[in-house]
Amino acid sequence: MDNTSLRVYGGVEGDDRRAERRTQLIEAGLDLLGSESDDVSLTVRGVCKQAGLTTRYFYESFTDRDALAIAVYDHVTDEIATTTLEAVAAAPADERAKIHAGLKNIVDIVADDPRRGRLLFSATLTNSLLLHRRVRSARLFASLLGEEARAFYGMSGSAALEPTSQFIVGGLAQTLTAWLDGTVELERHQIVDRCTEIFLAIADIRRSSREREA
Amino acid sequence: MDNTSLRVYGGVEGDDRRAERRTQLIEAGLDLLGSESDDVSLTVRGVCKQAGLTTRYFYESFTDRDALAIAVYDHVTDEIATTTLEAVAAAPADERAKIHAGLKNIVDIVADDPRRGRLLFSATLTNSLLLHRRVRSARLFASLLGEEARAFYGMSGSAALEPTSQFIVGGLAQTLTAWLDGTVELERHQIVDRCTEIFLAIADIRRSSREREA
DNA sequence: CATATCTGAAAACAAGCGTTTTCAGATATT
DNA sequence: AATATCTGAAAACGCTTGTTTTCAGATATG
């Protein structure tokens, strides 16, 4: 726990060795949590074996399995959130362009590292803590979408916003899941294009219902 | 295993006693798998306690936990599939009416028995076997939707059909999840209406893209 | 009544898990 | 060279699980 009296070992500073081991554990955790085979659970012995470390070092960096799972999840979601916001901001001030840029960034990340994709979207993930984390993320994403739409279309407090955002979030997750596991066979850009079209179509419901209200 | 030499006991036939215990186990399994608290897992001891039976009788009706989980899941999905198909068939030959009738039947069932709803849609279910079962169901449902749309709109083999169907299935599941756990606060009929609108909007993508193709 | 079966409760066994501790050898420090 | 720390491997403890077995008492059958 304490970092007092950490010697150099193997030519490496004590803090660096700890940080290195922590990184190895997070990477190994991502290997397991994002594994293609679904019946691998995140056990202390398992993640240490994957990391090439012994169990003693697990508790050097994490209090328990849950702490590691959270670290892995946040590691992935922080990156995806940051880059997606950047991509959306950098896109032209056009509805379709913004949505397309955001979706493209998400699809690129989960395609380049399928572990991340499965961690975020796999329908067969069994880790309870991560499933709850996902629910939180979905709520957050849905709420962001709702605000964005509200601002864009200048709606006040339309009650239809919330279920619609939830629908979009779930639909995207399901589509990417099916794409990642091979059920849907499309090129990367085709997935992005299709999802963009669906986003826009659902957004048009608001527009037309708003016109009806007016 | 064998039912030879089964006596009457407590005034009940041997086969009836077995069937009764089996029913109790399935009901108890649904209690646990559809529990509001997510950290209850389907253990033999747990389900027997819930059923008011002892572990000895578990193996009288099921070879292992997985067999019970499958029995519970199929018990629920069989009913929902049958009644939904009936509801759709009984509805007027109108696109909106068919979709509305099907959705209403699903929403009614999961609202009347939240255990069923959570078993089918909860985002925090951790039972690996059931999660795989869900994937299969989602694939089946998506494929049915695709065929229906193909027939309705007379499309040939549009590649956009599959991701779109997956999107709808996932969106519906997410919306119902959020509704069941209280994240989305709407009346029962409002959920049905909203989802119907979204269904139709996504179907309109096909229609308009088909018009573009023509 | 005597015998065979059924029932409920508990014990038993092996396996996997989280977590802590032990320990011999490798490496740095003085 | 002597001492303190770091490392990797393994053992240890207690708990939960799946699964099977034991056993005393309740109930039916001849």
Q: Is the pLDDT of residue A62 over 90?
A: yes
Question: What integer pLDDT is reported at residue B155 of this predicted model?
Answer: 57
Q: By C-alpha distance, which of B190, B147, B153 is closest to B165? A: B147
pLDDT for B148: 75
In the structure, how far is the CA atom of residue B142 from the C1' atom of nucleotide D10, in angstroms? 52
Break chain A into its structural domains and give their ranges. Answer: 1-62, 71-213
Stronger pLDDT, A4 or B81, i.e. the higher one: B81
Nearest-CA residue relative to C1' of C10: B54
Nearest CA to CA, how far is A10 from chain B (Å)?
43
Residue A67 approaches strand C within 7 Å at CB: no
Q: Which nucleotide lies nearest residue B58, CA to C1'?
A: D19
Q: What is the pLDDT of residues A98-116, one digit of tens each?
A: 999 999 999 999 999 999 9
Tell me which of A64-68, A109-113, A129-133, B160-164 is least confident: B160-164
Cβ contact A19:A65 at 8 Å: no
Q: What does the DSSP assignment read for B7-69?
A: PPBTTB-HHHHHHHHHHHHHHHHHHHHT-SSTT----HHHHHHHHT--HHHHHHH-SSHHHHH
A202:B204 CB<8 A: no
Q: Does residue B1 surpass a pLDDT of 80?
A: no
Q: What percent of chain A has pLDDT over 70?
A: 89
Does the pLDDT value for residue A90 go beyond 70? yes
Mention the CATH class of domain B1-62. Answer: mainly alpha
Architecture label for domain B71-213? Orthogonal Bundle (1.10)
Binary contact (A166, B172; C-beta < 8 A): no
Residue A159 has what pLDDT? 59
What's the average model confidence in pLDDT over B189-196? 95
pLDDT digits (tens, 9 = 90+) for A115-128: 999 999 999 999 99
Q: Report d(CA A205, CA A99) in Å as an integer.
A: 16
Nearest CA to CA, how far is B122 from chain A (Å)? 10
Cβ of residue A11 near strand C, that is under 7 Å?
A: yes
Q: Least CA distance to A162: which residue of chain B?
A: B184
Minimum mean pLDDT among A132-136, B110-114, B127-131, B139-143: which range? B139-143
Q: Where are the beta strands (DSSP E) in B33-168?
A: none
DSSP label of B156: -
> Alpha-carbon distance B125 to B139, whole Å?
18
Reduced to 3 states, what is the DSSP secondary structure of residue A12? strand
Q: Which of A19-23, A130-134, B204-208 has the lowest mean pLDDT?
A: B204-208
CA distance B188 to chain A (A): 12
Global pTM exceeds 0.85: yes
Of A123, A134, A186, the CB nearest to B163: A186
Q: Strand C: which bases are under 7 Å from protein Cβ?
A: 4-11, 16-22, 27-29
As a whole number of angstroms, the distance between CA B101 and CA B203 comes to 16
What's the mean pLDDT in A30-50?
A: 93
Q: Mark residues 25-84 of chain B whose C-beta is closer than 7 A to nucleic acid strand C.
A: 53-57
